Amino acid sequence: MATHITDTVRPVEAAAVMELLPARPRLLALGEPAHGEDTLLGLRNELFRQLVEEEGYRTIAIESDCFKGLLVDDYVTSGTGTLDEAMEHGFSHGWGAFTGNRELVRWMRAHNDGRPESEQVRFAGFDGPLEITAAASPRQTLTALHAYLADRLDADLLPCTAETLDGLLGSDDRWIDPDAMMDPARSVGQSSEAGRLRLLADDLVALLDTQTPYLTTASPRETASARETASARDEFDRARLYGRTATGLLRYHHWMADTSPARMTRLCAQRDLMMAGNLLALTERGPALVNGQSAHFQRELSTMQMWQGPVRWWSAGALVSARLGDAYAYVATALGTIRHQGVDTPPPDTVEGLLYALPEDRCVIDPRRLATALGDTPPAPRTSPWFGYAPLDPAHLADRDGIVFVKDAT
């Protein structure tokens, strides 16, 4: 068996990953089994750099707030602000504090400096403005969408005024109450004001869509320069992001107020639906790379045990795969040890244990050939003593397009 496994091993290079795929995918996801490990972030940076330089990828997205990520994109494309400001204000979940993410942003800015827009690498967050215990107020994105439309269209076309939105939104403290995650009665998501906001948000997005031909043109003049048109398209794409995020947040808040047994299933599904919408939008402007927790990229049904019982939903990767087919690819990262988190040498009868016995410290594995080499009876699933680490599921190896194995995270 060891000989067959050895036959599946390749060096960790962009070329080795691409050899596993039938063609260059429009969206290539690199899943990580644990957040914030500098070893994994450094490997991601090097692999993504190669994919940009050798395969022409032009967007890098990570599992962070899509709205905040616009600030990082402005920095890496035009030098707006400083690196410190981008890291402090352009990330959610504390990701801006990690050295690997800082080095990624630093490299993207250096890569883009002096290059024309068509050759620059864009940055994006693909998560909604959501934390595990709360969701943001829809104020920022909803008012940003309204302001974009109000600046460009006749006031009679808008379904409401900015003052109406402000009155319905009320205090942001009502929306971000952390107790609402455990107590639906604390949520304002099913109040009469929230219900009206959902209708208005839908109308604003519909107005954006109906005015697409006009809004994607730089000006009402018959001619416009290519640069002006590109700028108008970029602003329009941001307005679409505002619309997706505002409607998604209002829907999320609505289900936070739900008292049915399906509440957490709906919330998990809604978060991944928002992620999928952002990822699909990124592919419209060219091939994109994305990095985040592996559970958001898998094709099989996601499951989690929560205080309300088992939760099952389709991940962002499953939703995107259903839309893109072979134009979506998912490469999982597997780890041997994370000793500083209590994750020691894997048992030899697990997939990680078999890979840990290889001489390579890191390698690319063909998962389908690996599944064949392991035979009809999958190895035992590995169990983790640390909640922050998710081992490979041996029953779904063939559902991955590639595996990057790292022996030790230090």
Average pLDDT over residues 72-80: 97
**Residue 389 CB-density burial (10 A; 0-12 exposed, 13-18 middle, 19+ buried):** buried
What is residue 218's predicted lDDT score, i.e. its pLDDT?
Answer: 55
Give pLDDT, residue 306.
Answer: 82
Does the pLDDT of residue 224 top 70, yes or no?
no
Q: What is the pLDDT of residue 223?
A: 43
Residue 226 has pLDDT above 80, yes or no: no
Spatial CA neighbour of 295 closest among 277, 318, 329: 318
What average pLDDT is seen over the chain?
Answer: 94
pTM summary value: 0.94
| Residue 239 one-letter amino acid | A
pLDDT tens-digit readout, 247-301: 999 999 999 999 999 999 999 999 999 999 999 999 999 999 999 999 999 999 9
Q: Which residues contact 394 (CB under 8 A, 6 or more apart)?
A: 350, 351, 374, 378, 379, 380, 381
Residue 134 pLDDT exceeds 80: yes
Lowest mean pLDDT among 31-40, 160-169, 222-231: 222-231
**pLDDT (tens digit, 9 = 90+) per residue, 336-394?**
999 999 999 999 999 999 999 999 999 999 999 999 888 888 899 999 999 999 999 99
To the nearest whole percent, how much of the chain has pLDDT over 90? 89
